[in-house]
Amino acid sequence: MSYFARSSRLCVLTQSARTSLSKPQWCHMIHTRANGPVAKCIAVPKPSVSKSIATVAALGATVTTIACYNSLSPAKGVECEGSTPTKKISRAVEADGKLRLKGLTDDSPIRLRMEAYVKKLQEQITSELEKVDGQAKFKKDQWVRAEGGDGISMVLQNGKVFEKAGVAVSVVYGMLPPAAVAQMRSQHPNIKTSSTESVPFFATGISCVIHPHNPNAPTVHFNYRYFELEDENGGEPLSWWFGGGCDLTPTILYEEDAVHFHKVIKEACDKHDPRYYRDFKKWCDDYFYISHRGERRGIGGIFFDDLEDKSVNELFAYVQSCGNAFVHQYVPIMERRKNMKYTEEDKHWQQLRRGRYVEFNLVHDRGTKFGLLTPGARIESIMMSMPLTARWEYMHEPDVKAHGKLMEVLKAPREWIPL
């Protein structure tokens, strides 16, 4: 198939049309049908892995704000999205639209309350970060999914304090193929459906990555997300879970910053379960491990996935506590470090450590990898987490006197606060 996009419409030139036309003919047809600014024109083979699986996997790891089209149905000739709908769309799309218009309450479906929460949190965090920067403003990029859902990517670049900061939210409705449902059932035995057809799913979340100019100020990342498999008949979800986490990546280690970051998120965890911080900190240390370097990406935080050990309302409250803690975790650190003096050597070391950040994201991070393999994905949103600048040097050896303590922590994670 060949795909081309005009604004939010997706047009498909099928294999049958391509074989009946010469390449110049079908290329001319594509550009004629677009008739205007062409946002994207690519030729790709039919994927062997369902796009909806890739979307779910990406959202399940780190919300990458993918706006892709899943399970495109076979068609004859050239068809444009919106003219003759052929895809099966979740019934929840229309029902949820009506509920949003009526207004949400505490009894509204959790998916809508989580969606409303992450969008509100995005506004709060970007507002606070603009205050810290004191100069630059976030650029807002909004998109809409044809199958249902939308997203907002907000990015600040080349500010006074922040070299790059991105805060993105996404809301995705889609259809999950039977093979993917069967795979999920192995991890979630409460999925009772034995359907041989695709099952509707919903996913929403917020993701944030911040890279400051000053090497004394740490890079930070967080994301919180919710996923559910929907009942085809509109009943209770077949299965649901939360995921997320936060982690700090300093260039220059200040132990009081590490203690503060962990203390605030531990307090948020302890309100809901005394085991959460202990278990999720270890999970974070294990997840952000750069195996080919033998070191962690940073000094950790928390990480969790497939969380369903309490009621949905209890866990929604937990995720809100974690999300609301972020400004208190990070802004005080930035206020302490953003105006500190630094040397050319400090900046050089920052660029090298950012190289490690990029390596983890491209080699190990599940969300980034699945997003990049997803046809039609929003590459700009996926790559939002990358720093503007990074550096690699052959056989570089860090200055042990200046950075020995940081390297020790990256190779052997510490307990920053008493458990």
Count Cβ atoms within 10 A of the Cβ of residue 186 and give its class: 0-12 exposed, 13-18 middle, 19 or more buried.
exposed
126's enclosing H/E stretch is helix 110-133
* Residue 221 bears catalytic tag: yes
∠ Cα 127 131 132 (to 5°): 120
Count Cβ atoms within 10 A of the Cβ of residue 364 and give its class: 0-12 exposed, 13-18 middle, 19 or more buried.
middle
> Other C-beta atoms within 10 Å of 54: how many?
24
User: SS3 for 12?
Assistant: strand
Residue 169 DSSP label: E
Residue 178: HSE in the Cβ half-sphere, 13 Å Cα cutoff: 5
Helix 274-287 vs helix 255-270: crossing angle, to nearest 10: 130
Rounded Cα–Cα distance for residues 252 and 274 (Å): 31
229's enclosing H/E stretch is strand 219-229
Give 17's contacts (C-beta < 8 A, 6+ positions apart).
26, 29, 76, 77, 78
Residue 383 DSSP label: G
Rounded Cα–Cα distance for residues 57 and 69 (Å): 15
Give 95's contacts (C-beta < 8 A, 6+ positions apart).
234
Q: Report whether 310 contacts 240 (CB < 8 A).
A: no
Rounded Cα–Cα distance for residues 26 and 31 (Å): 9
Residue 78 DSSP label: E
129's enclosing H/E stretch is helix 110-133
Q: Which of 211, 213, 221, 262 is catalytic?
A: 221
CB crowding 12-24: b at 16 or more within 10 Å, else e: bbbeebbeebeee
Handedness of CA 378, 379, 382, 383 (dihedral sign): negative
Looking at the annotation, which residues are catalytic? 221
